[in-house]
Homo-oligomer: A and B are copies of this chain.
């Protein structure tokens, strides 16, 4: 890239990039705020920022974590983060919260969830932006991940709530997708939406402590059996099922060791780089698709005609292809 003149609106972004690179935490927070902004001039600055930071990204283990409410996700991430920081790493926790539109991001955004981790100098916790759509959150979370990497965080945790809307988005931006489960099989599993277990690279049964030790052991066996029916997404990697207790801090080391094994296997086979190249390509196309459809929905002539046409299609009195053509003619008309 060329060096911009002082009058270039992107210049502040480059100063911010330097500060991020030097590990300035307030700069990091400001950089992510800039990325989350929808103002066009901010978007231009955000792009300049990312362009400057890109050569310094990619050097982290990217871990997605999901699980239904009640599985102990916050406790797990706190125990996991502190363990990993204890080994000399720096951990950033980002959230994708499909409910943030309704709740203002309170479920995942509440910093009081991970008190000890959030106070640790080796950790950076960033809640979901309030009021954003899932697509928007996912787009910006990918960029925030890059900024955290440039700031020297070498373990990135992208967490989401296990209700089935956001897991695919998370799995599509990480090296390893970890699914947290309750120490119970059968009916309990039914809180997990279709297809979520299949996304996992690693399954961990949490709460394997106290009265639940036997139940956890049983659940591990059940999930191993169920997972034996699934084809592995990564060559040379059979999805392991572990148990742990985040509350008593047991089994967390084995989870981290298994993430290390997954990384080693993926680096050896080239699967990790291939997955990242695939993710970047898919991200490009999802940006294109989302921006196109946003422009379509926002088009005045489309907005005027859409409700009636969509209603007729759903009611079975208009063929979808005909409705689509009619709307697209309005869109391309100007």
Q: Does A310 belong to the interface (CB within 8 Å)?
A: yes
B-contacting 9-mer, from A72-80, A111-119, A324-332: A324-332
Query: Contact partner of A143 among B229, B230, B321, CB < 8 A?
Result: B321
Copy count, this protein chain: 2
* Set of chain B residues within 8 Å of A288, measured between Cβ atoms: 293, 296, 324, 327-328
Q: Does A86 belong to the interface (CB within 8 Å)?
A: no
Interface size class of A (residues with CB under 8 A): 35 or more
A220 vs chain B, min Cβ distance (A): 14
How far does the alpha carbon of A305 sit from the alpha carbon of B47 in the complex, in Å? 19
How far does the alpha carbon of A230 sit from the alpha carbon of B229 in the complex, in Å? 13
Contact (Cβ within 8 A) B143 A319: yes
Per-residue interface assignment for chain A, residues 115 to 129, with 1 indicating a CB less than 8 Å from any chain B CB and 0 otherwise: 000000000000000
Contact (Cβ within 8 A) B314 A281: yes
Q: Which of A7-55 touch B at CB < 8 Å? A: 43, 46-47, 50-51, 54
Q: Does A6 belong to the interface (CB within 8 Å)?
A: no
B-contacting 9-mer, from A100-108, A189-197, A253-261: A189-197
How far does the alpha carbon of A310 sit from the alpha carbon of B287 in the complex, in Å? 12
How far does the alpha carbon of A233 sit from the alpha carbon of B195 in the complex, in Å? 12
Contact (Cβ within 8 A) B287 A321: yes
How far does the alpha carbon of A293 sit from the alpha carbon of B285 in the complex, in Å? 9
Q: Does A276 belong to the interface (CB within 8 Å)?
A: yes
Q: Does A264 belong to the interface (CB within 8 Å)?
A: no
Per-residue interface assignment for chain A, residues 298 to 329, with 1 indicating a CB less than 8 Å from any chain B CB and 0 otherwise: 00000000000110011111111111110110
A201 vs chain B, min Cβ distance (A): 12
Known: A281-B310, A296-B292. A319 touches B229 (CB 8 A): no
